[in-house]
Copies of this chain bind each other. A is one copy, B any other.
């Protein structure tokens, strides 16, 4: 009875604990959604991400934070879950020229499938995720045509589908923003980027390397936005 109509708009937010998805969570909150955050433990090297996700989930006032174990590492095929080395010190041209070794096969399809399941159970219609078609153009499952296809799949593969109505909307508010614009947007919404993690290859203390693709894009984004990245980097990279 005390809830406003807007408060009852539930959304599932895929929250990795990275800079992008944390910004997306802040955007969903700013639009009045009651947010249910979904994270995955999947043998990723950067488990520190999940700690950051927990922090942001609390700070940004999520209704629930569900962390699911998914055994993507058993499937293999990625530097993020397997024994392939994470590349360092690549140029922007290198990053843009091919699918990164950090690509995890069908990852967003798997994550969105879980998000759809949870959304159906809790009665949410909106699913948010932090994919971006500029900085991560090498990832096939970050493209708008993929999201359109998934949305159709979700609407056909659930109760909503058999009842003949479109239920789910996939929101990717960062799709056409570059890293600088994402950071500016997040800061304007009060995001504390201390509670985010981007590095593909952190050390045992969780400190980012400053040299992998993700760190480079993040540092470049902060530089272009005219702000300091609040994270502490590994000592060897402290002058970055």
Contacts and interface: CB of A to CB of B under 8 A. Distances in A.
A47 interface: no
A133 to B, nearest CB: 12
Interface in A64-81: 66, 68-72, 74-77
B159 A99 contact: yes
Interface string A88-109: 0000000000010001111111
A143 interface: yes
A235 interface: no
Interface in A154-189: 154, 156-162
A74 B147 CA distance: 25
A75 B113 contact: no
A30 B50 CA distance: 45
Given A75-B114, A109-B153, 13 more contacts: A99-B159, A105-B118, A105-B120, A105-B158, A108-B157, A109-B157, A110-B114, A141-B157, A143-B161, A146-B161, A149-B149, A149-B156, A152-B153
Interface of A: 66, 68-72, 74-77, 99, 103-110, 112-114, 116-118, 120-121, 138, 140-141, 143, 145-146, 149-150, 152-154, 156-162
22 contacts: A69-B69, A70-B70, A70-B71, A75-B117, A75-B118, A99-B162, A104-B117, A106-B117, A107-B117, A108-B157, A109-B154, A110-B114, A140-B158, A140-B162, A145-B156, A146-B156, A146-B157, A149-B153, A149-B156, A149-B157, A150-B153, A152-B152
